[in-house]
Amino acid sequence: MFVRNAVAITGLLASLSNALPAKRAVDAGNARLVIYWGAEDDSTTLSDVCSDDSYGIVNLAFLNRFFAAGGWPEISMSGLDNSSDAQQSAGATGLKDGSGIVDAIKQCQSAGKLVILSLGGADADVTLQSDSDGEKIADTLWNLFGGGTENAELRPFGDVKLDGFDLDNESGDSTGYLAMTQRFRSNFQSDTSKTYYLTAAPQCPFPDASEPLDVCKELDYVWVQFYNNGDCNIAQSDFKNSVQTWSSGIGNATLFIGALASGADGDQGYVDADTLVSSLQDVKNMNLPNYGGAMLWEAQLAVKNGNFQKQIAAGL
């Protein structure tokens, strides 16, 4: 995506609280609204998003480089301060002090919303050279954001554990990604205190070279970007056929329809709220076994577009 669009339907499923730490299927009768936050400026704060009942999942955008200064990842996200003293001492100057949004993350999680870190973005460098690289970055991210315990002084959000990782690889190169997702799964099993999730946002032309089907089948949720891609965009000639193909191709993962919350950010394929709600109803009428809702790009864009997210949530 250019910057992501995440639409999905209200409320987290009851199954989220008692799901196992392996791949989970979702009751398609309970749809949700997913949103990306952090890629625009911070006039719409994470706390604002966490207070909005429209959303069930919040993707933090983005961790945009896997191997930056000192061999550590880099984060580009609203609301973060400069690198902490510990991060600077380690040479990890691409990491940031995220203490300013820790309370908002806790607010989201206390409200039953998942908070997931998105890896990538349109201008990111999240390519891998090998399976070994994939396993290495999975371990690094697990320690920095999940239930890992190494290098605790470098964690951007302190002792807060995020709820998982979202793959937004748009490079066209999936080298190492299957190994990375499998290592994430292994790491998730080591922390029984909570459930972790893996998600992705492939482009709607099927299959997506950046996030191929063997990777998608390892995931819990797949929010396909049905925008910026011509005929498979929402309400276009190949939209419903593309939805059916994706539904059939991602195994037990749950499918979300990714849409733009505004046409103001340079992306192509925005549709107004009435058209989007109608298209989502068409998808619901397809009776897909793994339909979960919608994903919107992006929180601030939605607010500036007349609180677009509330129109979608109400329509769903």
Residues ≥6 apart with Cβ < 8 Å to 126? 63, 64, 65, 66, 119, 120, 168, 169, 171
Catalytic one among 170, 211, 218, 298?
A: 170
3-state secondary structure the chain: CCCCCECCCCCCCHHHCCCCCCCCCCCCCCCEEEEEECCCCCCCCHHHHHCCCCCCEEEEEEEEECCCHHHCCEECCCCCECCCHHHHHCCCCCCCECHHHHHHHHHHHHCCCEEEEEEECCCCECCCCCHHHHHHHHHHHHHHHCCCCCCHHHCCCCCCCCCEEEEECCCCCCCCHHHHHHHHHHHHHCCCCCCCEEEECCECCCCCCCCCHHHHCCCCEEEEECCCCHHHCCCCCCHHHHHHHHHHHCCCCEEEEEEECCCCCCCCCCCCHHHHHHHHHHHHHCCCCCEEEEEEECHHHHHHCCCHHHHHHHHC
For residue 312, give the nearest of 29, 31, 59 by alpha carbon: 31
170 catalytically annotated: yes
Active centre residues (catalytic): 170
